[in-house]
Protein backbone atom coordinates (compact mmCIF):
# COMPACT_ATOMS: atom_id res chain seq x y z
CA UNK A 1 0.00 0.00 0.00
CA UNK A 2 1.26 3.47 -0.83
CA UNK A 3 2.02 5.85 2.00
CA UNK A 4 -0.81 8.24 1.16
CA UNK A 5 -3.25 5.30 1.07
CA UNK A 6 -1.98 4.06 4.46
CA UNK A 7 -2.45 7.51 5.93
CA UNK A 8 -5.95 7.73 4.51
CA UNK A 9 -6.77 4.34 6.07
CA UNK A 10 -5.30 5.39 9.43
CA UNK A 11 -7.38 8.58 9.43
CA UNK A 12 -10.49 6.60 8.59
CA UNK A 13 -9.83 4.13 11.43
CA UNK A 14 -9.23 6.97 13.88
CA UNK A 15 -12.46 8.66 12.81
CA UNK A 16 -14.45 5.43 13.26
CA UNK A 17 -12.89 4.81 16.68
CA UNK A 18 -13.57 8.28 17.95
CA UNK A 19 -17.17 7.94 16.74
CA UNK A 20 -17.41 4.77 18.85
CA UNK A 21 -16.32 6.57 22.01
CA UNK A 22 -12.60 5.85 21.87
CA UNK A 23 -9.87 8.32 22.64
CA UNK A 24 -7.50 8.67 19.68
CA UNK A 25 -4.11 10.40 19.51
CA UNK A 26 -4.18 13.78 17.80
CA UNK A 27 -1.39 13.56 15.27
CA UNK A 28 -0.11 10.00 15.47
CA UNK A 29 -1.65 6.77 14.25
CA UNK A 30 -2.30 4.12 16.91
CA UNK A 31 0.78 2.16 15.78
CA UNK A 32 2.97 5.25 15.90
CA UNK A 33 1.59 6.13 19.31
CA UNK A 34 2.39 2.69 20.73
CA UNK A 35 5.87 2.77 19.17
CA UNK A 36 6.36 6.19 20.80
CA UNK A 37 5.33 4.84 24.22
CA UNK A 38 7.72 1.91 23.78
CA UNK A 39 10.64 4.26 23.09
CA UNK A 40 10.73 5.35 26.76
CA UNK A 41 13.98 5.48 28.81
CA UNK A 42 14.75 2.85 31.50
CA UNK A 43 12.65 2.69 34.69
CA UNK A 44 15.44 4.09 36.95
CA UNK A 45 16.04 6.96 34.50
CA UNK A 46 12.35 7.79 34.39
CA UNK A 47 11.93 7.59 38.19
CA UNK A 48 14.92 9.86 38.57
CA UNK A 49 13.45 12.36 36.13
CA UNK A 50 10.01 12.24 37.76
CA UNK A 51 11.53 12.67 41.22
CA UNK A 52 13.27 15.86 40.07
CA UNK A 53 10.34 17.12 38.00
CA UNK A 54 7.39 16.53 40.28
CA UNK A 55 4.11 18.40 40.35
CA UNK A 56 3.42 21.63 42.10
CA UNK A 57 2.63 20.80 45.73
CA UNK A 58 1.47 24.25 46.82
CA UNK A 59 -1.98 23.25 47.94
CA UNK A 60 -1.65 20.60 50.62
CA UNK A 61 -4.45 21.98 52.73
CA UNK A 62 -6.91 19.23 51.86
CA UNK A 63 -4.44 16.38 51.59
CA UNK A 64 -6.18 14.36 54.30
CA UNK A 65 -9.94 14.50 53.94
CA UNK A 66 -12.53 14.08 56.66
CA UNK A 67 -15.03 11.21 56.41
CA UNK A 68 -18.66 11.90 55.71
CA UNK A 69 -20.72 11.59 58.92
CA UNK A 70 -17.68 10.05 60.59
CA UNK A 71 -18.03 6.83 58.53
CA UNK A 72 -14.92 5.65 56.69
CA UNK A 73 -15.94 5.61 53.03
CA UNK A 74 -12.96 3.45 52.04
CA UNK A 75 -14.04 0.69 54.40
CA UNK A 76 -17.75 0.95 53.56
CA UNK A 77 -17.10 0.67 49.81
CA UNK A 78 -15.10 -2.48 50.48
CA UNK A 79 -17.95 -4.20 52.26
CA UNK A 80 -20.13 -3.86 49.13
CA UNK A 81 -18.19 -6.79 47.59
CA UNK A 82 -17.82 -5.08 44.25
CA UNK A 83 -16.67 -7.05 41.28
CA UNK A 84 -12.88 -6.59 41.49
CA UNK A 85 -12.67 -6.03 37.73
CA UNK A 86 -14.71 -2.86 38.13
CA UNK A 87 -12.40 -1.24 40.65
CA UNK A 88 -10.84 1.88 39.19
CA UNK A 89 -8.14 4.18 40.36
CA UNK A 90 -8.33 7.66 38.93
CA UNK A 91 -5.80 10.42 38.80
CA UNK A 92 -5.84 13.78 37.13
CA UNK A 93 -3.78 16.89 36.44
CA UNK A 94 -1.09 15.63 34.12
CA UNK A 95 -1.04 14.50 30.53
CA UNK A 96 -4.03 13.94 28.27
CA UNK A 97 -4.72 17.67 28.48
CA UNK A 98 -5.71 17.40 32.13
CA UNK A 99 -8.38 14.73 31.61
CA UNK A 100 -8.83 12.37 34.52
CA UNK A 101 -7.27 9.01 33.72
CA UNK A 102 -8.92 5.86 35.08
CA UNK A 103 -6.90 2.71 35.61
CA UNK A 104 -8.25 -0.78 36.00
CA UNK A 105 -6.68 -1.97 39.24
CA UNK A 106 -7.48 -5.51 38.23
CA UNK A 107 -5.35 -5.31 35.07
CA UNK A 108 -2.63 -3.22 36.73
CA UNK A 109 -2.32 -5.84 39.50
CA UNK A 110 -1.80 -8.56 36.89
CA UNK A 111 1.05 -6.63 35.33
CA UNK A 112 2.60 -5.97 38.75
CA UNK A 113 2.91 -9.65 39.71
CA UNK A 114 6.52 -10.68 40.24
CA UNK A 115 7.99 -7.19 40.07
CA UNK A 116 10.58 -6.25 42.68
CA UNK A 117 9.34 -3.29 44.81
CA UNK A 118 11.39 -0.10 44.50
CA UNK A 119 11.71 2.29 47.46
CA UNK A 120 10.47 5.74 46.44
CA UNK A 121 12.55 8.86 46.85
CA UNK A 122 11.07 11.35 49.30
CA UNK A 123 9.83 13.44 46.37
CA UNK A 124 8.06 10.53 44.69
CA UNK A 125 6.65 9.34 48.01
CA UNK A 126 5.13 12.78 48.50
CA UNK A 127 3.97 12.82 44.88
CA UNK A 128 2.28 9.43 45.36
CA UNK A 129 0.36 10.76 48.37
CA UNK A 130 -0.34 14.15 46.87
CA UNK A 131 -2.18 12.86 43.82
CA UNK A 132 -4.36 10.47 45.79
CA UNK A 133 -7.63 10.86 47.57
CA UNK A 134 -6.75 10.22 51.19
CA UNK A 135 -9.37 9.71 53.84
CA UNK A 136 -7.91 10.65 57.20
CA UNK A 137 -9.96 8.13 59.21
CA UNK A 138 -8.84 5.25 57.00
CA UNK A 139 -5.18 5.77 57.97
CA UNK A 140 -5.96 4.20 61.33
CA UNK A 141 -7.53 1.15 59.67
CA UNK A 142 -4.56 -0.02 57.62
CA UNK A 143 -1.72 0.21 60.10
CA UNK A 144 -1.00 -3.54 59.98
CA UNK A 145 -0.54 -3.33 56.19
CA UNK A 146 1.63 -0.24 56.10
CA UNK A 147 4.78 -2.12 55.07
CA UNK A 148 3.17 -3.76 52.04
CA UNK A 149 4.34 -2.28 48.74
CA UNK A 150 2.08 -0.07 46.65
CA UNK A 151 1.61 0.05 42.91
CA UNK A 152 2.70 2.95 40.74
CA UNK A 153 2.50 3.50 37.01
CA UNK A 154 4.65 5.53 34.68
CA UNK A 155 2.77 7.06 31.83
CA UNK A 156 4.61 8.09 28.67
CA UNK A 157 2.61 10.19 26.26
CA UNK A 158 4.15 10.66 22.84
CA UNK A 159 3.30 13.74 20.83
CA UNK A 160 4.60 15.38 17.71
CA UNK A 161 6.19 18.74 18.37
CA UNK A 162 7.20 20.48 15.13
CA UNK A 163 7.63 17.07 13.55
CA UNK A 164 9.78 15.68 16.39
CA UNK A 165 8.53 13.00 18.79
CA UNK A 166 8.26 14.31 22.32
CA UNK A 167 7.36 12.16 25.34
CA UNK A 168 5.63 13.52 28.43
CA UNK A 169 6.19 11.37 31.52
CA UNK A 170 3.75 11.22 34.43
CA UNK A 171 3.89 9.36 37.69
CA UNK A 172 0.58 7.74 38.68
CA UNK A 173 -0.44 6.19 41.98
CA UNK A 174 -2.56 3.08 41.40
CA UNK A 175 -2.69 1.24 44.70
CA UNK A 176 -1.56 1.84 48.28
CA UNK A 177 -2.27 5.55 48.62
CA UNK A 178 -3.30 5.21 52.26
CA UNK A 179 -0.28 3.06 53.12
CA UNK A 180 1.85 5.68 51.39
CA UNK A 181 0.15 8.47 53.34
CA UNK A 182 0.62 6.74 56.68
CA UNK A 183 4.31 5.99 56.08
CA UNK A 184 4.78 9.55 54.75
CA UNK A 185 3.20 11.02 57.86
CA UNK A 186 5.46 8.91 60.06
CA UNK A 187 8.64 9.52 58.07
CA UNK A 188 9.01 5.88 57.00
CA UNK A 189 10.07 4.69 53.53
CA UNK A 190 7.53 3.38 51.04
CA UNK A 191 8.18 0.94 48.19
CA UNK A 192 6.10 0.34 45.08
CA UNK A 193 5.96 -2.02 42.16
CA UNK A 194 6.26 0.06 39.02
CA UNK A 195 4.45 -0.53 35.75
CA UNK A 196 6.28 0.30 32.53
CA UNK A 197 4.64 2.91 30.25
CA UNK A 198 3.35 0.16 27.95
CA UNK A 199 1.79 -1.72 30.88
CA UNK A 200 0.37 1.57 32.14
CA UNK A 201 -1.23 2.29 28.78
CA UNK A 202 -2.69 -1.21 28.60
CA UNK A 203 -4.13 -0.84 32.15
CA UNK A 204 -5.85 2.45 31.36
CA UNK A 205 -9.60 1.83 31.35
CA UNK A 206 -10.65 5.33 30.35
CA UNK A 207 -9.22 8.71 29.44
CA UNK A 208 -11.76 11.18 30.70
CA UNK A 209 -14.93 9.30 29.78
CA UNK A 210 -13.49 7.93 26.55
CA UNK A 211 -12.43 4.34 25.97
CA UNK A 212 -8.75 3.59 25.52
CA UNK A 213 -7.95 1.74 22.26
CA UNK A 214 -4.97 0.07 24.01
CA UNK A 215 -6.86 -1.22 27.08
CA UNK A 216 -6.33 -4.99 27.34
CA UNK A 217 -9.30 -5.63 29.60
CA UNK A 218 -11.83 -5.26 26.79
CA UNK A 219 -15.07 -3.33 27.03
CA UNK A 220 -17.79 -5.64 28.24
CA UNK A 221 -21.40 -4.56 28.61
CA UNK A 222 -20.70 -3.86 32.30
CA UNK A 223 -17.71 -1.72 31.35
CA UNK A 224 -19.78 0.27 28.86
CA UNK A 225 -22.41 0.82 31.56
CA UNK A 226 -19.73 2.02 33.96
CA UNK A 227 -18.51 4.51 31.34
CA UNK A 228 -22.04 5.81 30.91
CA UNK A 229 -22.31 6.26 34.68
CA UNK A 230 -19.00 8.07 34.69
CA UNK A 231 -20.21 10.37 31.91
CA UNK A 232 -23.22 11.26 34.03
CA UNK A 233 -20.97 11.78 37.07
CA UNK A 234 -22.59 8.89 38.96
CA UNK A 235 -19.45 6.77 39.26
CA UNK A 236 -15.87 7.72 39.85
CA UNK A 237 -13.20 7.88 42.52
CA UNK A 238 -15.33 10.01 44.81
CA UNK A 239 -18.69 8.58 43.79
CA UNK A 240 -18.63 4.86 44.59
CA UNK A 241 -20.30 2.54 42.12
CA UNK A 242 -23.92 1.79 42.76
ZN1 LIG B 1 -11.30 2.64 56.76
pLDDT given for residue 221 in this prediction: 85
Q: Could you give the C-alpha distances from 239 to 59, 226, 233, in angstroms and in order? A: 23, 12, 8
Pairwise CA distance, residues 40 & 28, whole Å = 16
Give phi and psi for 220, each to the nearest 5.
Answer: -75, 175
pLDDT score for 88:
66
Dist. CA 180 → ligand 1 center (Å): 15
In angstroms, what is the span from residue 68 Cα to ligand 1's centroid? 12
CA atoms within 13 A on the CB side of 46: 24
- The CA 10 to ligand 1 mean position distance, Å, reads 48
Which phi and psi angles does 183 have, rounded to 5°? -65, -40
What is the model's pLDDT at position 241?
Answer: 42
pTM of the model: 0.85
Q: 69 C-alpha to center of ligand 1: Å? A: 13
CA 238 / ligand 1 centre spacing (Å): 15
* pLDDT digit string (tens) for the chain, length 242 residues: 677 888 888 888 888 999 999 999 988 999 999 999 999 999 999 999 999 988 777 666 567 777 777 778 777 766 555 555 566 666 655 566 667 788 898 899 999 999 999 999 999 999 998 877 788 888 888 899 999 999 999 999 999 888 899 999 999 999 999 999 999 999 999 999 999 999 999 999 999 889 999 999 888 888 888 888 878 877 655 444 43
Q: Give the Å distance between the CA of 96 and the centre of ligand 1.
A: 31
Strand partners, 89: 103
Q: How far is the CA of 135 from the centre of ligand 1 (A)?
A: 8
Cα(104) to centroid(ligand 1), Å: 21
Judge whether 108 and 198 are in contact, CB under 8 Å: no
* pLDDT at 155 (0 to 100): 93
* 198 CA from centroid of ligand 1 (Å): 32
User: What pLDDT is stored for residue 65 in this prediction?
Assistant: 74
Question: Pairing between strand 204-207 and 101-104?
Answer: antiparallel
Identify the pLDDT of residue 133. 75
Amino acid sequence: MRRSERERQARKTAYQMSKNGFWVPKDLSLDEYLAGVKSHPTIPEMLNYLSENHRDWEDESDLFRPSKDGVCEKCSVRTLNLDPTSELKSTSNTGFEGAEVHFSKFIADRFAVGKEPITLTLNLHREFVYQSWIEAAHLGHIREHMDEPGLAAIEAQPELNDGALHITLSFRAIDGSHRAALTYKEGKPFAVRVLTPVETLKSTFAIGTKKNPFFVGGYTEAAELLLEQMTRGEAGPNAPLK
